[in-house]
Structure 1
Amino acid sequence: MQRIYITLLLAMFALYGQSQNSLEGSISDDASGSPLFGADVYFPQLEKGSISDENGQFKINALPTGNYKILVSSIGFQTYSKTLTLKKGSNAINVALSPTAIEMEEVIVSTPFHKLQRENVMKVERASVAELKTKGAVTLSEGITNIPGVESVSTGLGIGKPVIRGLSSNRVLVYTQGVRLENQQFGDEHGLGISDAGIESVEVIKGPATLLYGSDAMGGVLYLNPEKFANAGETEGDVNLNYFSNTTGFDGNAGIATSSEKLKFLIRGSAASHTDYGTGGGQNVTNSRFGEYDLKTGLGYQSTTFKTELRYNYNNLKLGVPEEIGQQTSDRSPESPYQQIDNHILSSKTNVFFDKSSLEATLGYTFNTRKEFEEGEEGATLDMNLATFNYNLQYHLPKWGNLETIVGAQGMHQTNTNFGEEILIPDATTDDIGVLGTSHLHFKNDSDLQLGIRYDHRSIAGEANGVLGEEGFIETLNRKFNSFNAAIGYKNDILKNFTGRINLATGFRAPNLAELTSNGVHEGTNRYEIGNGALKNEQNLQTDLSLEYGNEHLEIYVNGFYNTINDYIFIEPNGSTIDGNAVFIYNQQNANLYGGEIGVHIHPHPLDWLHVESSFETVTGKSATDEYLPLIPANSLTNTLRTEFARKDSWLNSSYVFLTLKSVFKQDKVSTFETTTEGYSLVNIGFGGTVSIFKQSMDIRVSGNNILDRDYISHLSRLKTNGISNIGRNISLGINIPL
């Protein structure tokens, strides 16, 4: 691996002196013929672009030769997408964009061929962090619940874990900076552990993504796209400030990015602080307070046929673990029990562009320290260090007609080390490697076929801990897991404006250390957990069907899935207690999950400023014995009325107003150790826009969540067993000031 990376670095100097290739052209309005100012011209694979000037002109230098997808986009116009052949020397293109009321499309990064969603075989949901902020999200884990099919298992406000179509924990893989996020995510009370500052957008793959990402992606992937470097020759920056009434909380971040023709640099720092949140019943949930510091920075170099970037993220979290409604205070420092978490993510991505092919190498190193402090104890009772090195090598073969193919290898080396007196999981080493091949074929009749195959091998070696025969003893662990997986998908534009997709994919997940080795009280869950060293791989097969209709004023989608999981791992009580704690053991059983999402978006002519949106999502999970699975989100219906206006040459350049009613139905399809959760409805409102004050442009947003201050408990709240409600009314104010 080290030799490969050194070779890539040396290639930078070998390729530095190659000739300069450029692309220039103009962007215009197809209806009026007038030039378009501020249109974005971008090569996704090269991660390089430009902005058109007031005459609609643009120029991009230092481009490689070969075939590359180019995208041209502007608000109010349909995104232009085409594969362009770049030749040596100067290249030219003129693009006329067609006006449309449909919102601007973005590139999907989490799938390997960098397509627009309308070109993608696999259905991927995408939302910008700025969009999630307009809806009043306090944290990133709360914000993603605005994406259909995505929910969050929460412990108060500061701790949340993504749930995709009923699957959570290690079954959902999180990617950031192009590398997998490893931060002891197996625990129920362990949060996402990453700040939304410096994150541009969120992509969600709903369904098995093992082919692309390996173990732990059998339920889906939450892919976080970091903010981009500035275009060549530009410097940009901004300051963001947010206030939240419910927690008297605030968060703020500031960043700057600058780029020359070859060198790029960015940096962003953020801080957040929240007191205990208040419920709709008017009580503060003791010790739900939390604080966070975050730093993200990046350095890049790009020449004609070579580019590389190095990114680093440091995140510090101090989280109270709420257990009751006790003393009502406005303190910001957590009391015991609380967690102190430090997360370091160092990643590099290097691309070498040959004449007809390319090589991409992504390397990542994450170091996570997790400490848990309990009342009456000196120092951390739980103190774990997790160090992970991972790699992802992908070679894009020369294109053969309309066939694109990628072959690659992925893997990781991980060590877990304990330093506290309490051992939750043993000192252990995990190694895995996977090899894959995937192809995308575009047919002339506007249909696409994508398929692939993958093989993975994982080994886990854990040390013994404790005394044989005594409580808490953990045996030596030495297990190996293997799996073959495949995926096939087909997309067809059946009729004009009507698209169908069908995908079949298998996935797998090797059991984690907690499931294999636990033998003790898991703090925060108030239960004694016993692992099972004989657990096998979880293996699933999911079928996805998606039907979409869209024209300029109406969009409708219907997504359905059926997921069959062999050897589904679950934890359940065995009826006994140890030291007053109920004993829970890990078992396996086959299971099935099924459901989907239905949505409609109307923006009627001539009222293009009016948007009416409605979506319904449902999922059911059952075991082979016909019992319901735990932590399955309740069915929900979301209705939104939204207006958007854009004005030129005015102090109010653009504005929006929205009103949302989210109705969550009663969840009575519960497992044997869960209780029924009553339904509830939440009303959310918001408005904002871009204003110019003394020639300074800024974005202002105001939102009110649970505006009627409804007292409710989510079925996915871990505080439900304590009878503690979710957050009540919360008014948030936000401002973004470009520098």
Structure 2
Amino acid sequence: MKNIIFGLLLLAVTTGYSQYSAKGIVIDANTEQPVIGAAIQLQKPERSTITSLSGEFTLNNLTAGNYSLVISSLGYGTQTYQFELPGAGELKIKLFPTAIEMEEIIVSTPFHQLQSENVMKVERITRESLERSGTSSLTEGISEIAGVETITTGTSIGKPVIRGLSSNRVLVYAQGVRLENQQFGDEHGLGLSSSGIESVEVIKGPASLLYGSDALGGVLYLNPERFAPQGETEFDAETAYYSNTEGFEANAGVKTSAEKFNFLVRGNLATHSDYETGDGRRVTNTRFTGYDLKGGVGYRDENYKGDLRYNINSSTAGIPEEIGIQSTSKSKMLPYQKVDNHILSLDNSFYFDESSLDVKIGYLFNNRKEFEDAHHEEHGHEEDHEHEEHEEHEEHEGHAEGEPALEMHLETLNYDVKYHFPAHGKFETIVGVQGMFQSNENMAEEILIPDARTTDAGVLATTHYHLEKLDFQAGLRYDFRKISSEAYENHDTETEVPALEREFNSYNGAFGVKMDITSNFTSRLNLATGFRAPNLAELTSYGSHHGTNRFEIGNSDLENEQNYQIDLALEFRNQHFEVSANGFYNAINNYIFLNPTGEFIDENSVFEYLQHDAKLYGGEVGLHIHPHPLDWLHLESNYELVIGEQDNGDYLPLIPAQSIQNTIWAEIADGKTFKDAYVSLSLKSVFDQNRTGLFETETAGYSLLNTGIGTSIALNSVELQVKLAGTNLLDKTYISHLSRLKPDGIPNMGRNISLGVGFQF
């Protein structure tokens, strides 16, 4: 009896921990010939491999349960494949030839699906596309996406604009965690480098269900570069020169992967002089220098995946005020800002039999300093009683040379926990909690926003239902935010700003459906709500500083912004062309905006924060022609339109002008020496913007001609890469409606030619 019981226990234990293998073959659906080198990605737990010369693959050490594969290969349509262990047998996967580019998994949505399977429309641009554009910053590159533009202060400072919304209305994610870097200010850039970023995903529209407050306008999701394939070590380095700013950039990285551990490190250095406009004048103090360092350690086994990453980005950027001194110097010039941005993130995934748990933790430290001319109060030899009374005030007003006039330390700890329930039939369900703890501390005399504490907490649930031609997705969420700020004094006006303690909460939801009307025609309809709690600047501001040219007065009684958006997307694609149309209507209650009062303080115009209901509407239309059999030739056209209005009929400020971009590019077939060669020519035409806010002026339209050419050269085990790009080739003198230098009549950058050379082995 003892032996029988022991045998049964041993059988139960070995059965519970049995290891299985998934074996299969990938073939061409038309010829049934094996597809060699196809990428096989197992979703959970995350694994990857490639097919052999016979088209076969094997994934070992799997437990019983349901699994999902993503299979991709150049020249074929990417597919997902579901199977169950045990009992799956040998997997036989057919790929269909197509001229459409390989699809990648969309990370910014909760179920990590291919875009063709996603209920929500998500735009994606790769690092290679960013590099081909020849731009000198990440924010310039993402403006290539239809519906995405950039508010700029020269070439060094840029903020993303998604369908007319920006700053705290657009949430940025880096390394899988929420980026917090004093983004309330128009003159505050991202504090990130495109170095080490593999791709950028953009959710256009309210995403508060997934991300909470501040995702009212959309999400910019930056995916970090992947680790090297298992058992491989990779090293790459490149350098680039930019003619307009006489700028220089260098970048190098190394990464290696063993069976379970992965490592990578990457460094970047960039320095630029003042940029030159189309009429040959340099814009004084638009120079900037920055360095970026990224590192990562990963670990994976059958039940766990961990990814620890760290990024330090430090930039010193001039704050331009005029076209004055003409110089190509790269040395610091007053006034300027120095920003250090630290991001430490830990991404954990725990895999159970049929479910999983994702835990993301991030710590961010943002140190923002602004330097300006030192203030020194001068008095005669006779000190009168009035001078004595103001002696203490003058001590506060001044700051020593070399010391920052403004210094803010922002510390943020955020968390994101999601549990993926076991799939029940065609249902997938996720529940989660998100939140952050944040503190702001002033270290210098000038104060933009007070010392404060912010606490966020949110609870969400979302589910996805899949049918053969229909997909449904829905969810609900509740958020709570508490803001506590300390009292402070504006020494210039001797005004006391009282302490503040406010609580905000909001319920939000989303519902979407994707329908495959035919095998080539897909429609998506999404309805979503979003919210944004007012930020510290809007609640507590009282003062001005370099870069704003205005005196801002906050409003402690502001309420949540709450929006409701409907979005309809239609897409048709076949082997010859793709056409898409995406329209939206976004109604925002309690929209917060700056309003001029007509008064002046310290020689600056006074603006106060007010609220009114508003609406934004418009959309994007795209066409991509890749005629078969000329699959190497691509013609693309994208049109975008956004209109923003208050309910009283006044237009909203900082709304991008409508534009159309036409691009023709060709992929040259690989040879023995040259591969991945391309050549492109694009023309972006921006229309007149005459729908302007109260303190804006109309902006004339313009057209910019850009080009790019590049190739890789195989030299034994080394791959040499050469890239040449040109922006504004006709040296057009123009002013963007979203340029913060527009009120001073300062044009944007003229012609810029960039040459990049790199190698990889």
> TM-score band, normalised by the shorter chain?
over 0.9
Report the 3-state secondary structure (helix = DSSP H, G, I; strand = E; otherwise coil) of the residue aligned with 2:461.
strand
Whole-Å separation in 2 of the counterparts to 1:141 and 1:248: 20
Instruction: Give the corresponding residue for 1:670.
Output: 692
Amino acid of the structure 2 residue aligned with 1:211: L
1:95-125 residue CA offsets vs partner (Å, 9 max, x unmatched): 3322211111111000000110110000000
1:472-519 residue CA offsets vs partner (Å, 9 max, x unmatched): 422101000000000000000112300011000000000000000000
Instruction: Give the corresponding residue for 1:12.
Output: none
1:227-248 residue CA offsets vs partner (Å, 9 max, x unmatched): 1122322222321322211111
1:78 aligns with 2:74: no
Among 273, 277, 295, the residue aligned to 1:297: 295
Instruction: Give the corresponding residue for 2:251.
Output: 253
- Counterpart contact for 1:20–1:304, Cα < 8 Å: no
Among 664, 673, 678, the residue aligned to 1:656: 678
Whole-Å separation in 1 of the counterparts to 2:446 and 2:495: 10
- Counterpart contact for 1:21–1:304, Cα < 8 Å: no
- Counterpart contact for 1:529–1:585, Cα < 8 Å: yes
1:333-391 residue CA offsets vs partner (Å, 9 max, x unmatched): 22111111111111111111111111111011001101100023520010110000000
Whole-Å separation in 2 of the counterparts to 1:191 and 1:47: 34
Instruction: Give the corresponding residue for 2:188.
Output: 190
1:703 aligns with 2:725: yes
Report the 3-state secondary structure (helix = DSSP H, G, I; strand = E; otherwise coil) of the residue aligned with 2:732.
coil
1:58 aligns with 2:57: yes
Among 564, 575, 597, the residue aligned to 2:587: 564
* Cα distance, 1:415–1:108 mapped onto 2, change above 3 Å: same
Amino acid of the structure 1 residue aligned with 2:612: Q
- Counterpart contact for 2:68–2:80, Cα < 8 Å: yes
Deviation of 1:470 after TM superposition, in Å, equals 5.2
Report the 3-state secondary structure (helix = DSSP H, G, I; strand = E; otherwise coil) of the residue aligned with 1:82.
strand
1:570-595 residue CA offsets vs partner (Å, 9 max, x unmatched): 00110000121110100000000000
Between 1:26-35 and 1:630-639, the stretch displaced more is 26-35
Pairing of 1:223-622 with structure 2 (within 5 A)? 223-376=221-374, 377-378=400-401, 379-444=403-468, 446-466=469-489, 471-622=494-645
* Cα distance, 1:62–1:94 mapped onto 2, change above 3 Å: same
- Counterpart contact for 2:406–2:444, Cα < 8 Å: yes
Instruction: Give the corresponding residue for 2:28.
Output: 29
Instruction: Give the corresponding residue for 1:156.
Output: 154
Amino acid of the structure 2 residue aligned with 1:26: I
* Cα distance, 1:65–1:131 mapped onto 2, change above 3 Å: farther
Runs of 5+ consecutive residues of structure 2 not aligned to the other structure: 1-13, 375-399
1:553-573 residue CA offsets vs partner (Å, 9 max, x unmatched): 110000000000000000011
- Counterpart contact for 2:99–2:628, Cα < 8 Å: no
Whole-Å separation in 1 of the counterparts to 2:59 and 2:751: 49
Report the 3-state secondary structure (helix = DSSP H, G, I; strand = E; otherwise coil) of the residue aligned with 2:743.
helix
Instruction: Give the corresponding residue for 2:702.
Output: 680
* Cα distance, 1:45–1:587 mapped onto 2, change above 3 Å: farther
Whole-Å separation in 2 of the counterparts to 1:64 and 1:654: 40
Report the 3-state secondary structure (helix = DSSP H, G, I; strand = E; otherwise coil) of the residue aligned with 2:185.
coil
Whole-Å separation in 1 of the counterparts to 2:90 and 2:112: 23
Deviation of 1:301 after TM superposition, in Å, equals 1.4
Deviation of 1:91 after TM superposition, in Å, equals 7.1
What TM-score comes out, normalization by structure 2 length? 0.92
- Counterpart contact for 2:132–2:708, Cα < 8 Å: yes
Amino acid of the structure 2 residue aligned with 1:654: D
What TM-score comes out, normalization by structure 1 length? 0.95
- Counterpart contact for 2:427–2:466, Cα < 8 Å: yes
Report the 3-state secondary structure (helix = DSSP H, G, I; strand = E; otherwise coil) of the residue aligned with 1:278.
coil
Report the 3-state secondary structure (helix = DSSP H, G, I; strand = E; otherwise coil) of the residue aligned with 2:107.
coil
Report the 3-state secondary structure (helix = DSSP H, G, I; strand = E; otherwise coil) of the residue aligned with 1:146.
coil
Deviation of 1:409 after TM superposition, in Å, equals 0.3
Instruction: Give the corresponding residue for 2:383.
Output: none
Instruction: Give the corresponding residue for 2:393.
Output: none
Amino acid of the structure 1 residue aligned with 2:430: I
Amino acid of the structure 2 residue aligned with 1:175: Y
- Counterpart contact for 2:490–2:542, Cα < 8 Å: no
- Counterpart contact for 2:588–2:615, Cα < 8 Å: yes
Whole-Å separation in 2 of the counterparts to 1:93 and 1:290: 55
Between 1:401-410 and 1:295-304, the stretch displaced more is 295-304
Amino acid of the structure 2 residue aligned with 1:187: G
- Counterpart contact for 2:484–2:501, Cα < 8 Å: yes
Root mean square deviation of aligned Cα:
1.9
Amino acid of the structure 2 residue aligned with 1:80: Q
Whole-Å separation in 2 of the counterparts to 1:72 and 1:335: 53
Larger Rg belongs to? 2
Between 1:110-119 and 1:48-57, the stretch displaced more is 48-57
Whole-Å separation in 1 of the counterparts to 2:70 and 2:606: 56
Runs of 5+ consecutive residues of structure 1 not aligned to the other structure: 1-14
Whole-Å separation in 1 of the counterparts to 2:182 and 2:688: 32
Instruction: Give the corresponding residue for 1:215.
Output: 213
Report the 3-state secondary structure (helix = DSSP H, G, I; strand = E; otherwise coil) of the residue aligned with 2:444.
coil
Instruction: Give the corresponding residue for 1:6.
Output: none
Whole-Å separation in 2 of the counterparts to 1:562 and 1:470: 43
Report the 3-state secondary structure (helix = DSSP H, G, I; strand = E; otherwise coil) of the residue aligned with 1:661.
strand
Amino acid of the structure 1 residue aligned with 2:743: T
Whole-Å separation in 2 of the counterparts to 1:467 and 1:201: 43
Report the 3-state secondary structure (helix = DSSP H, G, I; strand = E; otherwise coil) of the residue aligned with 1:212.
helix
